[in-house]
C-alpha cells in the first residue's frame, strides 16, 4: 500500500464521527437542514472569519495539494478541481471517488466543517473516467436539433459524475462559434444563438434536474461568458471585436436561457471584448450578468485567467474580484492568493461587502446541493457508469448527429448480407480519434485502449456479420473488387488553442487515400471525423457519399446504424460548410452567403432521386493535363458523344473559345468528360455553365441548366 493510500485509510476513519456530527449538531442554524437556505447562509456567514471567507473563494487543482491535503484545512480551501490533464491513478470510478472523499474529509476538519465543492470538465460525458459513456461533442449534438435527447445525455453525464462524488461540472459550453478556425469550435452547439439557447438549457436541465439535492444532480456551469466564440480570426482566448449590439444579439442569449433554467454557476471567459478582458470587466460580470440579467449563482474564473489581467498578481486579484469574480480558479498558487487577498481586504481595496456577496453565492449552492448532509460519494452509483442503458442513449446521439452531405443514387445504405466491403483510413479503427479532445486527458489521444467503446469498424462488423468486411488503414487490399469502399478520415484530437488552425483542408494523405480507393471502381463512402467542417473540395469528385460524423465518442455503433440503413440520417448542419479557406468566417445571414453546404443542410433520406427527374450536378474537376473537365451527377447518364450541347467555360472570368467534346467516363457512368483543345492551368480560375442541350440521364430525364460552377483543380 503506497503512502498516499495509507494516508487516505487513516483519514477515512475520521469520516463516520465527522458525518455524525454534521447530522446531529442542531444548535448552529447553518447545520440544520430544516432551516431555509438563506437562513443557513446568513448564519454561517456571521460565524466566518476573513480567512475562512477568503478560503471559500479559492479553487485549487487536486495535483497542487494531493501531497499536502492538510492545506485544505489550514487555508479553508472551498473548492478543488481536476483539470484536463489531472488524471488520477488508473482513472477508475472507484479511485476518483476515493480522491474526492479524501479531499472532502480535510474540508470537514475545518472549524465550521464547510464542505468543499469539487469541479471537473465533463464536456461529453464524464470523460475523465475510464469506461464512462462518452457522447458526441456539442457540435454533433447541435446537428440533432433534439433538445430532449441532449437533456437525456446530460442526465446520464450527471449520474456518472455523481458516482465519483464530484458535484460540479464545467458544462455546458454555450459558446456561439463564428469562425471554425477556433480550436474550441466543437465545444459549441453551432453558429447560431438559437442552438446555444435551446440545447444549452437542455444540458443544464439534465445536469441539475428539478432539485440540486437529488443525489445524482450536479451543479452546471455555463461557459464562457461572454463572446468566446467571436474572437477575431478564431484565436482562442483572443479579442472579440464587435459592437455591443452584436454581442447582445449573438453571444448573450444563451446565458439568458441558462439563467432562466437556474444555472448555478457561470465561468468567465479568457477572451477580451474590444480590448478589455472579460475576467476583469465589471460591466459584463456585474452590471450586465448579475444586475441586468439577475444571475444569482456564482461566477468562477477560468484556469489561471486572473493571472493574465496584468503584471502584478495582487492588482490582478483586486481587479477580478471587484469586477464580479466570486471564485478564483487559481489553480496552483493558493499561498500567493491567500496572502494577496488578506492584504487587499486589510487595505480595504476589496470591500467586505464584495467578499460577503461572493461567499454567500458560493455557500448558497453548497446548501442547495445538500453537501452539508451528504458530503461523500455514493458508492452504489458506480455500477451505473458505462452501463448498456447509458451507452444506448449515446448511440442514439451518434446516429442522430450524423449529417449526410452527399449521396449518389445506389451508394447508401450498405447491404449487409453477402456484401464485400473494403474499409480504409486512419480513423476507422481508432477509438481515441473518434472521441477527440477532452477524453481521459486534455488533448485526447490515439488508440483503442484509451477507454471502453466501439470503433466505427467494430460497429460495422457487429452490424453486418454476414458481410465480408476487410480493413486496411492504408487502403492496400489483395483483391480490390468489392460492393463498397468506406474511407474514414479526419482530424486528430486537439483542445483549445492547440486546435486553432489556418488550414482546415482535409489532410493530403487522406485525399490521396480516397483517390486511391476510388480507382478500385467501387462506390466510395467517406466518413469524416472532425470538430468542424473541413475543406473537402479535393475529394468531392472521388466520393459517392459523404457523411459528417463529427466527434462521435465511444459508441461507433451509431455510425454503422446509419451506414447500413437501420436508421435514416436526420442530422442537419449546425455550422455552415465553406467551399474554401477564403470563405472563412462564414455564417448564416452573411452578405453573399454561398457556402458549399448551408447551415441546416442535410440529406434525410436514402431514397434515390425519382425516375425521370433531372440529374443533379455534384462536382467538377480539371484533369488530363489541363485539357479535360469532369462533371459528376447523382445518377447514371446516357452516352453524350453524339449529344448536342452548349457548355461555356470561363478562365479568369473570360469565356474561352475552344471546341468541347463530351463523353462518359469509363467505369463511371455518373461522370461526363469535357475534352478541350485549349490547355487550362491550375493557377486559373475556371467555371463551367451548362446552358442547353440534349444531355440525359439513363432513365431519360433531361439535364437542366446549371452553373456557373467552380472547377476544382
Tens-place pLDDT, residues 52-109? 999 999 999 999 999 999 999 999 999 999 999 988 999 999 999 999 999 999 999 9
How far apart are alpha carbons 23 and 32 in whole angstroms?
8
Indicate if the pLDDT at residue 624 is higher than 90: no
How far apart are alpha carbons 9 and 548 in whole angstroms?
49
The domain over range 402-583 is classified in CATH as 3.40.50.1700: yes
pLDDT value for 86: 87
Is 88 within 8 Å of 66 (Cβ atoms)? no
Indicate if the pLDDT at residue 409 is higher than 80: yes
Mean pLDDT of 18-28: 53
Alpha helix ranges (H) inside 230-306: 244-246, 253-260, 282
Return the domain boundaries, the chain: 3-384, 402-583, 617-710
Mean pLDDT of 187-193: 98
Calculate Rg over the CA atoms of the chain: 29
Contacts of 68 (CB under 8 A, 6+ apart): none
How far CA 26 is from CA of 106, 227, 366, 371, 586, in Å, comes to 22, 46, 18, 16, 60
pLDDT value for 20: 46
What's the CATH number of domain 617-710, 1.10.10.10, 3.40.50.720, 1.10.530.10, 2.60.40.1220? 2.60.40.1220
Encode pLDDT of 252-303 as tens digits: 999 999 999 999 999 999 999 999 999 999 999 999 999 999 999 999 999 9
Annotated catalytic residue within 160, 191, 496, 630 = 496
Q: Residue 468: which of 503, 528, 416 has the closest Cα?
A: 416
- SS3 at position 467: coil
Burial of residue 95, with CB atoms counted within 10 A of its CB: 0-12 exposed, 13-18 middle, 19 or more buried? middle
How far apart are alpha carbons 577 and 536 in whole angstroms?
10
Indicate if the pLDDT at residue 22 is higher than 50: no
Residue 311 bears catalytic tag: no
* CA dihedral angle for residue 193, residue 195, residue 197, residue 203, rounded to 10 degrees: -150
- SS3 at position 595: coil
* CA dihedral angle for residue 299, residue 303, residue 307, residue 308, rounded to 10 degrees: -90
Indicate if the pLDDT at residue 222 is higher than 60: yes
How far apart are alpha carbons 417 and 613 in whole angstroms?
30
Is 128 within 8 Å of 95 (Cβ atoms)? no
Indicate if the pLDDT at residue 3 is higher than 60: no
Residue 496 bears catalytic tag: yes
Encode pLDDT of 442-475 as tens digits: 999 999 999 999 999 999 999 999 999 999 999 9
How far apart are alpha carbons 86 and 61 in whole angstroms?
8
Alpha helix ranges (H) inside 13-112: 15-24, 37-47, 50-56, 62-65, 70-74, 93-107
Q: Cell numbers for 242, please give them.
A: 464587435
Burial state string for 28-37 with b = 16 or more CB within 10 A and e = fewer than 16: ebbbeeebee
The domain over range 3-384 is classified in CATH as 3.40.1190.20: no
Mean pLDDT of 373-384: 96
pLDDT value for 5: 52
Mean pLDDT of 337-353: 98
- SS3 at position 299: strand
Mean pLDDT of 375-402: 98
Residue 1 pLDDT class (50, 70, 90 cuts): very low
Mean pLDDT of 674-688: 94
How far CA 712 is from CA of 334, 539, 580, 617, 709, in Å, comes to 56, 10, 11, 14, 9
Indicate if the pLDDT at residue 542 is higher than 90: yes
Annotated catalytic residue within 302, 400, 555, 561 = 302
In percent, how much of the chain has pLDDT > 90?
A: 94
In percent, how much of the chain has pLDDT > 70?
A: 96
Q: Cell numbers for 672, please give them.
A: 461526363
Q: Cell numbers for 221, please give them.
A: 456551469
Encode pLDDT of 544-558 as tens digits: 999 999 999 999 999
Amino acid at each position: 500500500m503506497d503512502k498516499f493510500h495509507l494516508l487516505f485509510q487513516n483519514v477515512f476513519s475520521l469520516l463516520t464521527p465527522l458525518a455524525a456530527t454534521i447530522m446531529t449538531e442542531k444548535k448552529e442554524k447553518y447545520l440544520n437542514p430544516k432551516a431555509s437556505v438563506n437562513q443557513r447562509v446568513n448564519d454561517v456567514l456571521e460565524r466566518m472569519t476573513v480567512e475562512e471567507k477568503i478560503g471559500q473563494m479559492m479553487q485549487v487543482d487536486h495535483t497542487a495539494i494531493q501531497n499536502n491535503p492538510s492545506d485544505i484545512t489550514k487555508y479553508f480551501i472551498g473548492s478543488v478541481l481536476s483539470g484536463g490533464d489531472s488524471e488520477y491513478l488508473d482513472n477508475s470510478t472507484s479511485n476518483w471517488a476515493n480522491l474526492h472523499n479524501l479531499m472532502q474529509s480535510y474540508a470537514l476538519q475545518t472549524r465550521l466543517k464547510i464542505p468543499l465543492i469539487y469541479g471537473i470538465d465533463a464536456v461529453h460525458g464524464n470523460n475523465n473516467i475510464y469506461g464512462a459513456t462518452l457522447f458526441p461533442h456539442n457540435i454533433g449534438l447541435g446537428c440533432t436539433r433534439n433538445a430532449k435527447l441532449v437533456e437525456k445525455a446530460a442526465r446520464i453525464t450527471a449520474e456518472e459524475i455523481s458516482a465519483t462524488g464530484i458535484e460540479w461540472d464545467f458544462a455546458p459550453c454555450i459558446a456561439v462559434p463564428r469562425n471554425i478556425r477556433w480550436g474550441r469550435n466543437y465545444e459549441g452547439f453551432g453558429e447560431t444563438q438559437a442552438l446555444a439557447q435551446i440545447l444549452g438549457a437542455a444540458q443544464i436541465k439534465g445536469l441539475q434536474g428539478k432539485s440540486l439535492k437529488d443525489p445524482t444532480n450536479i451543479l452546471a456551469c455555463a461557459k464562457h461568458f461572454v463572446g468566446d466564440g467571436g474572437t477575431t480570426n478564431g484565436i482562442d482566448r483572443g479579442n472579440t471585436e464587435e459592437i455591443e449590439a452584436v454581442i447582445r444579439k449573438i453571444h448573450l442569449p444563451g446565458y439568458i436561457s441558462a439563467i432562466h433554467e437556474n444555472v448555478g454557476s457561470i465561468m468567465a471567459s479568457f477572451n477580451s471584448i474590444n480590448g478589455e478582458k472579460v475576467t476583469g470587466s465589471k460591466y459584463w460580470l456585474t452590471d450586465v450578468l448579475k444586475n441586468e440579467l439577475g444571475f444569482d449563482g456564482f461566477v468562477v474564473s477560468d484556469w489561471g485567467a486572473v493571472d493574465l489581467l496584468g503584471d502584478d498578481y495582487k492588482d490582478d486579484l483586486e481587479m477580478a474580484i471587484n469586477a464580479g469574480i466570486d471564485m478564483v480558479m487559481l489553480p496552483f498558487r493558493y499561498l500567493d492568493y491567500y496572502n494577496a487577498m488578506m492584504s487587499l481586504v486589510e487595505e480595504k481595496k476589496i470591500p467586505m461587502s464584495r467578499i460577503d456577496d461572493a461567499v454567500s453565492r458560493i455557500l448558497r449552492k453548497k446548501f442547495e446541493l445538500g453537501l452539508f448532509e451528504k458530503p461523500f460519494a455514493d458508492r452504489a452509483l458506480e455500477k451505473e457508469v458505462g452501463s448498456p442503458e447509458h451507452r444506448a442513449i449515446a448511440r442514439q446521439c451518434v446516429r442522430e448527429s450524423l449529417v449526410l452531405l452527399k449521396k449518389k443514387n445506389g451508394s447508401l445504405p450498405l447491404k449487409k448480407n453477402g456484401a464485400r466491403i473494403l474499409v480504409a483510413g486512419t480513423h476507422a479503427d481508432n477509438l481515441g480519434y473518434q472521441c477527440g479532445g477532452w477524453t481521459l486527458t486534455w488533448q485526447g489521444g490515439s488508440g483503442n485502449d484509451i477507454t471502453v467503446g466501439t470503433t466505427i469498424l467494430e460497429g460495422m462488423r457487429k452490424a453486418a456479420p454476414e458481410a465480408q468486411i476487410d480493413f486496411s488503414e492504408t487502403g492496400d487490399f489483395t483483391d480490390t473488387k468489392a460492393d463498397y469502399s468506406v474511407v474514414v478520415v479526419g482530424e486528430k484530437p486537439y483542445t483549445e488553442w492547440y486546435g486553432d488552425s489556418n488550414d482546415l483542408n482535409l489532410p493530403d494523405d487522406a485525399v490521396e487515400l480516397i483517390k486511391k480507393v476510388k480507382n478500385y471502381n467501387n462506390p466510395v463512402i467517406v466518413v469524416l471525423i472532425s470538430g468542424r467542417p473541413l475543406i473537402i473540395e479535393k475529394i468531392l469528385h472521388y466520393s459517392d457519399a459523404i457523411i459528417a460524423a463529427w466527434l462521435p465518442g465511444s459508441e461507433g455503433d451509431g455510425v454503422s446504424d446509419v451506414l447500413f440503413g437501420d436508421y435514416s440520417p436526420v442530422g442537419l448542419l449546425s455550422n455552415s460548410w465553406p467551399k474554401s479557406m477564403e470563405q472563412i468566417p462564414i455564417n448564416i445571414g452573411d452578405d453573399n452567403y454561398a457556402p458549399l453546404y448551408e447551415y441546416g443542410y442535410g440529406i434525410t433520406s436514402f431514397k434515390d432521386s425519382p425516375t425521370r427527374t433531372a440529374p443533379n450536378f455534384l462536382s467538377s474537376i480539371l484533369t488530363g493535363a489541363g485539357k479535360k473537365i469532369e462533371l459528376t451527377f447523382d445518377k447514371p447518364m446516357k452516352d453524350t458523344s453524339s449529344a448536342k450541347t452548349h457548355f461555356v467555360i470561363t478562365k479568369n472570368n473570360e469565356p474561352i473559345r475552344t471546341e468541347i467534346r463530351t463523353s462518359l467516363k469509363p467505369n463511371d457512368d455518373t461522370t461526363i468528360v469535357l475534352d478541350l483543345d485549349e490547355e487550362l492551368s491550375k493557377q486559373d480560375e475556371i467555371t463551367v455553365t451548362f446552358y442547353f442541350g440534349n444531355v440525359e440521364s439513363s432513365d431519360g430525364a433531361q439535364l437542366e441548366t446549371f452553373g456557373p460552377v467552380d472547377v476544382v483543380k
